[in-house]
Amino acid sequence: MRHLKTSKKIFLIVTALFYTLLFDASYSSIPFIALSQILWLYRVDGGDKKTTFSSFLTLNSLILILCLQWIIFLGLNFKGQPMMDPHHTEDPGSPLSIIYWILNDWVPHAPLMIVSVILLILFPIFSKYKKNALILLAVFILPIGGLYLYCKLIDITHFITSRYFINFLPFFLITMFLSLEDLEVRFERFKRYVRLKLLFVILLIVSNLTILPLYYISQKQDFRGLVSYLKLNLKV
C-alpha cells in the first residue's frame, strides 16, 4: 500500500522480504502471496494513479530470487511422491462450511458473526470507492474458493481450517473497519448518538474474552490426557 501511494521502490524490497519469510515459514502462505497480487488494482484514496508493470515485475522477481533456493530444492527432491498421507480421508467441506468455520474462529459467537457478515455485504454498497471495496472482498473470498477447487481438482482429502487463511486476517479486519467508517459517513447524523466502530470493538473484545476459559480448560484436559497416556504406556 505504501508503494502504491508513494511509488518508492524501498517498499517493494520490504514486501518481498516479508513474503519470503512467509514462504519459508509455511506453504499455506502461497495462496496469500499469489492472490494478494490483486491489490495492484487498488487505488489509494480512490485516485487514478495506475501502478506500472515494472513495479509488479520488480516485486515478483525479488520474491522469486529470494525463494529460489527452496524451489530448486523441491524440484530436485520431488520424485512423484503422493501429496497426501493415505491415512488422511477428511472431507474439505463445502465452500459455505469453510467460510462458516473461518468466521467462527475469527469472529466467534453468533452476534459478532452476524454483524461481520452484514458489514461485508454492506461494504461495496455504501463505500465511496466501490472498486476498492470489491478488491478487498476478493482478497478475502477468492482464496477460499481457490483452495477448495485446488483440493477437489487434485483430490486432496484434508480438512480445511482457518489456519490456512490466517495471513488474510488483517485484510478481513481492515475491511470490517472500512465498512464501519463508510456507514458512519453515510449516516453521519446518527454518529453523535451511536459510535459504530466503538460498539464493534467492544463486541469483538467481549466475544473473544468469553472463549478464553474454554481454551484454558481444553489445554488442561489435553495435558492431563497426555500425562495419563505416558503413565500407562511409558516403560522405564
The one-digit pLDDT tens for each residue of the chain (236 residues) are: 565 666 677 778 888 888 888 888 777 677 778 877 887 777 776 555 555 678 888 888 888 888 888 888 877 877 766 666 666 666 667 888 888 888 888 888 889 999 999 999 999 998 888 888 888 888 878 888 877 787 777 666 666 778 778 878 888 898 999 999 988 888 888 777 788 888 898 998 988 888 777 665 655 555 566 666 666 766 54
What local confidence, expressed as pLDDT, does residue 114 receive?
93
Q: Tell me the C-alpha distance between 235 and 185, whole Å.
A: 68
pLDDT at position 225 is 62
The confidence score (pLDDT) of residue 146 equals: 78
- Asked if residues 143 and 167 have their Cβ atoms less than 8 Å apart, the reply is no
Per-residue confidence (pLDDT) for residue 45, from 0 to 100: 62
Supply the pLDDT for residue 33.
82
